[in-house]
Amino acid sequence: MNALFSTVNPLPAILLKPFDGPSRRRCINGFQLSAGDVDRFNRLLARIGGHALETDQLASAGRELSRPGHPGSAPPCIRQRLRWIAAVEQLRDDRHFEPANDAVAATAAAIVDYARSRDDLIPDWMPQVGRLDDAIVVETAWPRLAAEVDDYLDFCRVRSEEARQRGRNLAGFVFTRGDWEQVRYEQAVLDQYERQIRESSFLPASTPMFRVH
């Protein structure tokens, strides 16, 4: 997995499992969470493989991530997941990289559509935690998308290298997922051949010494 996408900055632990305590908090930094909006958000989470969140969990997570002295800066865990969203958006919009299957395509579309929407659970303009809901969405879907995004990053790397080797401008260079898979296959065959060379020798087996008894 590409280091950019490894989980080194976890979201608040209260979001990671179903909530079984009393739900009291409903505000994030003075913003009242709507029960209808939370229900709609939970339907999205269910569609992409997640569990429902209570209003208290969302409010508590927002409070935990609101850091005094950093009024305009999102916490590292949110910034990291915004990079994930950017990669998913690039993958979704790249017409030469066909998703592996319909489930991947639908999940990627759900993430990008939500991140682009103005009608989301937490307003984007809120300092520090305005993108918390976007981070939760991509975090929920990440088990379905992580391998695909990693493949896409390698696709981009190989496409750039192929364009460079052929003296082509990357903007006009047509290179598809099928082309990438063929390059990867050829590289795997070459790697296997080179391993065989390292593990064997072209020299004939030595002849046993003749001994006079």
Domain ranges for the chain, please list them: 3-142
Q: Give the model confidence (pLDDT) of 162-175 as tens digits.
A: 999 999 999 999 99
Q: Which of 146, 162, 156 is nearest to 81 (CA)?
A: 146
27: helix, strand or coil: strand
Q: Give the model confidence (pLDDT) of 3-57 as tens digits.
A: 566 667 999 999 988 777 777 889 998 899 999 999 999 999 999 999 999 999 9
Q: Tokens 């590409």 — which residue?
A: 2
Q: Which of 144, 114, 123, 92 is nearest to 40 (CA)?
A: 114
Instruction: In whole angstroms, give the CA distance from residue 185 to residue 140.
Output: 32
Q: What pLDDT does residue 5 have?
A: 66
Query: pTM to 2 decimals?
Result: 0.85
Q: Give the model confidence (pLDDT) of 95-119 as tens digits.
A: 999 999 999 999 999 999 999 998 8
